[in-house]
Chain A
C-alpha cells in the first residue's frame, strides 16, 4: 500500500513536470486557425526544408556511423577503448558549436575558404547538413557499435561451414539482424537533427528550419500560438522514434545470446579500418582545434598574434557568473536527477504493482519531447509561478528533459538484480531501507556514476529547453554562444564552447576514474 502512495506521488510529479505543461502548450492552439498556420508559405517552406536537410544529414550521419562502427567492432585495430572515447568528444559540446567550427573553417572568412578562394557557400543547406552530422554521428555510432559488438557470431560460423560468400552473408544474416535496430537508430538520429536549432541558427543563414522558426516566433515575436503549432509538429518524429525504440528494445533482448563475433586476421581490412578511423577522428578534431585557436588569436585572419582579449571580453559581460550558474545547475541536476531517477526506477522495477507500468510510461515520456518544445511548454505553464525566472526552473526543466536515459539505465540495472532480495529482507527482518542502502545501491554504483555524468554533461551544454526560460540573472553559460553569435562575436562564442568542453572533459575523466574505482 505504502509503495502505491509513493507511486501516485511520483505520477503527480510527472503530471506537473511534463504532462500539464504539454497540455498547456496544446491549449494555446485552441483559438488558432491551425490550417492557416500550417499552410502559410513560411511554415510550409520551413517544414520542407527541415525535412530535406534532416533526411540528408541523417543518411550521411548513419552511414558514417555504420562504416565507423564496423571499422572498430569488426576488425583487429588496437586501442578500441581510446578510439571510442575520442569519437564521443563531439557529444561534449553544444550542437551550435559544431556549426561554429564549420564557419571558422569554411565560412566567408574561413581558413579553407581563403586558401581555395571559396565564397562562403557553407551557409545554408550544406552547412546544416555537415554541422548536424558532426554532432549526431557519435550518438548513432554508440548505438551501432553496441549492436555490432553484441551480434551473435554463431550464424556466421554456420554460414562459413555451408560456404556462403561475403555478400550472401551480408544479405542473409547481417541485414536481417540489423534491420530493426537500424530503423530505431535512423529515427533517433533523425529526431535529434530535426529538433535541433543550434546548428541551423548558427550556420543556416536564410535556410530556415522549423526549430529556428519556432525560436524566432517565440523569442522575436512572442507568438506562442504559432510556436506551439510548430512544437506539435516536432513532437511527431520524436514520438515515433520513442515507440520504435521501445519495440526494438524488447525484441532485441532475445538475440543477446550466443557467442561474440570471432574476428579473423586480415591485414588489408585492418588497414582500411585504420584509414577510416583516422579520417573520422581528424574530421572531428579539426573544427574543435579551429575554434580553440580562434578563441586565442587577436583577429583572424588580420592579426594572428596570441591574445586573451576574447576571453577577457567574455568575462567582462558575465561569463564567470554564467559559468557559476551552469555549474550549479549541472551539479544540482546531476545529484537530484540521479536521486529521482533511482527512486523512480526502484518503484517501477523492484516494487512492482499495477501502477508501476503506468509510472514507467510517465517516466519515459520525456524521450518523445524535444528540448525546445519542453522549454516552450514550461514558459506557458510556469509563467507567474514562484519558480519562474530563477535557477530552480532551469533545474526542473533539465531534470525532466534528460530524465529518460538515466532512468532507463537504473531501471535495467535494478531489473537485473536478484528479484528475491527484498523477500529475504522481509523474512529476516532486515528493513527495506537497509536492503536498498546496503545491497541494491552498492551493486548499482557503476550505473549511478554513469547517470550522474549524463545529467551533468547534458545540463552543461544544453541550449534548447533552457533558452526560453533564461534571463540575465539565471542564464547558463551555454546560452552565451547564441548571444555572441547574434553579436557577430564568434571568437568569444568559441571561447565559451571551449570552457564547456573543458568542464565536460573533466566530468568524463572523473566518470572514468570513478568507474575504475568501483569496478
Chain B
C-alpha cells in the first residue's frame, strides 16, 4: 500500500497551551486508522489540522506526496463526519445531500438539479434511508441523522473521510449497527478512513491500525493485535489494555449473572 497521507513533525499550540508536540505518522491508502486517546489529548485538533480547519504552527502534511499544509479545506478532497451530525436542519434528508452536490465548489457544477437528485437518492439508499428522503433531521433518530451526514460526505466522493467521534451521541444498539455499516462502506468505497474516538472497544473492533495518543503525542501506532501483544509503554498498557480487560471482564460477569 502507498502512503495516502503523511504527517511530518506537526506541532500546534493555542496560546500557551501546547496541544500537539511534533506529531509524525503516515496513513496508508484504503486503511481504516483510528486515533484513540482520552479526551483533551489533542486528537480533535489533529483532525482539524488534517482537514484544513486549522493550520499547524510547524510541520507539514502531504497527501499523495503533495504538500497540502496550507491548501484550503475544500480543495483537499477529504470529507468529515461530525459528532453532532452538523446537518442542515431546515432541509430534508434528500435536500441535505442534494444541496452539497449542487453548491460544492470542488465539484465545479458537475451536477444539475436532476443528476444531483439522482445521486442524492442513491447515496441515501446506500446508507439505508430510502424511506426517509423527505424527513427533516428533527424527525430522524440520532443514528439516522448520522447516516444522512455520512451519505452527504460520501456523495462528494472524497479520498479520505475523517470521523470525529461520530457515535458518542448514540445509544449502544445504534452504535453497534452503525459500526458495522461504516466498516462495510469503507470496504465498498475503498475510502481511506481516519476515525477519532476515546472508546477503546470501538477502536479495536473497527480498525486496521490504531494510533494511541496522549497529551499531544502519539505513543504507538500499530495493528490492534500488535498493540495488545506488545504495548509500547506504560501509558498504552494502562489506557488500552487494562481498560479493555475491564470491559471484557465486566461483560462476562454481566452475562453470567443474567
- Within the assembled complex, what's the spacing in Å between the Cα atoms of A304 and B51? 79
- Within the assembled complex, what's the spacing in Å between the Cα atoms of A140 and B51? 50
The stretch among A59-67, A184-192, A376-384, A422-430 that forms the contact with chain B is: A422-430
* Contact status B82-A424, CB under 8 Å: yes
- Within the assembled complex, what's the spacing in Å between the Cα atoms of A443 and B137? 13
Instruction: Determine the residue in chain B with the shortest Cβ distance to A442.
Output: B90
Neighbour of B87 across the interface among A418, A423, A434, CB < 8 A: A418
* Contact status A439-B106, CB under 8 Å: no
Neighbour of A430 across the interface among B75, B87, B91, B103, CB < 8 A: B103
Neighbour of A429 across the interface among B51, B90, B99, B105, CB < 8 A: B105
| Interface residues in A428-445 (C-beta closer than 8 Å to B) | 428-431, 434, 438-439, 442-443
Q: Which residues of A contact B103 (CB under 8 A)?
A: 428-431, 434, 438
- Within the assembled complex, what's the spacing in Å between the Cα atoms of A421 and B87? 7
- Within the assembled complex, what's the spacing in Å between the Cα atoms of A427 and B156? 10
* Contact status B73-A439, CB under 8 Å: no
Query: A-facing mask of B152-182, CB < 8 A → 1, else 0?
Result: 0000100000000000000000000000000
Known contacts A418-B89, A424-B82; A430/B105 CB under 8 A: yes
Q: Which residues of B contact A429 (CB under 8 A)?
A: 74-75, 103-107
Known contacts A428-B100, A428-B106, A434-B103; A443/B86 CB under 8 A: no
- Within the assembled complex, what's the spacing in Å between the Cα atoms of A439 and B89? 8
* Contact status A428-B74, CB under 8 Å: yes
| Interface residues in A388-435 (C-beta closer than 8 Å to B) | 417-421, 423-424, 426-431, 434
Known contacts A427-B53, A427-B79; A439/B105 CB under 8 A: no
B37 contacts the other chain (CB 8 A): no
Instruction: Determine the residue in chain A with the shortest Cβ distance to B108.
Output: A429
- Within the assembled complex, what's the spacing in Å between the Cα atoms of A428 and B105? 7
B78 contacts the other chain (CB 8 A): yes
Q: Which residues of B contact A431 (CB under 8 A)?
A: 103, 105
- Within the assembled complex, what's the spacing in Å between the Cα atoms of A401 and B69? 47
* Contact status A420-B86, CB under 8 Å: yes
- Within the assembled complex, what's the spacing in Å between the Cα atoms of A132 and B162? 60
Q: Which residues of A contact B99 (CB under 8 A)?
A: 430, 438
Closest approach, in angstroms, between the C-beta of A196 and any C-beta of chain B? 41
Q: Which residues of B contact A428 (CB under 8 A)?
A: 74, 79, 100, 103-104, 106, 156
* Contact status A418-B90, CB under 8 Å: no
B32 contacts the other chain (CB 8 A): no
B195 contacts the other chain (CB 8 A): no
Q: Which residues of A contact B106 (CB under 8 A)?
A: 428-429
- Within the assembled complex, what's the spacing in Å between the Cα atoms of A420 and B81? 10
- Within the assembled complex, what's the spacing in Å between the Cα atoms of A418 and B74? 20
Interface residue tally for chain A (C-beta within 8 Å) = 18
* Contact status B90-A426, CB under 8 Å: no
Q: Which residues of B contact A443 (CB under 8 A)?
A: 89-90
Q: Which residues of B contact A438 (CB under 8 A)?
A: 88, 99, 103
Select the residue from A419, A421, A423, A443 with max chain B CB neighbours within 10 A: A423
- Within the assembled complex, what's the spacing in Å between the Cα atoms of A428 and B52? 11
Known contacts A418-B86, A420-B84, A443-B89; A426/B53 CB under 8 A: yes
B80 contacts the other chain (CB 8 A): yes
Closest approach, in angstroms, between the C-beta of B47 and any C-beta of chain A? 11
Q: Which residues of A contact B51 (CB under 8 A)?
A: 427
Instruction: Determine the residue in chain B with the shortest Cβ distance to A444.
Output: B90
* Contact status B88-A427, CB under 8 Å: no
Q: Which residues of B contact A439 (CB under 8 A)?
A: 88-91
Q: Which residues of A contact B80 (CB under 8 A)?
A: 423-424, 427
Known contacts A427-B74, A438-B99; A418/B105 CB under 8 A: no
Closest approach, in angstroms, between the C-beta of B20 and any C-beta of chain A? 19
- Within the assembled complex, what's the spacing in Å between the Cα atoms of A431 and B74? 10
- Within the assembled complex, what's the spacing in Å between the Cα atoms of A443 and B88? 9
Q: Which residues of A contact B105 (CB under 8 A)?
A: 429-431
Select the residue from B80, B88, B99, B106 with max chain A CB neighbours within 10 A: B88
* Contact status A423-B86, CB under 8 Å: yes
B85 contacts the other chain (CB 8 A): yes
Q: Which residues of A contact B89 (CB under 8 A)?
A: 417-418, 439, 443
Q: Which residues of B contact A434 (CB under 8 A)?
A: 103
* Contact status A424-B86, CB under 8 Å: yes
* Contact status A423-B156, CB under 8 Å: no
Instruction: Determine the residue in chain A with the shortest Cβ distance to B162.
Output: A427
21 inter-chain pairs at a CB distance below 8 angstroms, sorted by A residue, are A418-B84, A418-B86, A418-B87, A420-B86, A421-B88, A423-B80, A424-B80, A427-B74, A427-B78, A428-B79, A428-B104, A428-B156, A429-B74, A429-B104, A429-B106, A430-B99, A430-B105, A431-B103, A434-B103, A439-B89, A443-B90
The 5 closest A-B pairs by CB, nearest first: A429-B74, A429-B105, A420-B86, A442-B90, A429-B106
- Chain B residues with a Cβ under 8 A of chain A: 51-53, 72-75, 78-80, 82, 84-91, 99-100, 103-107, 156
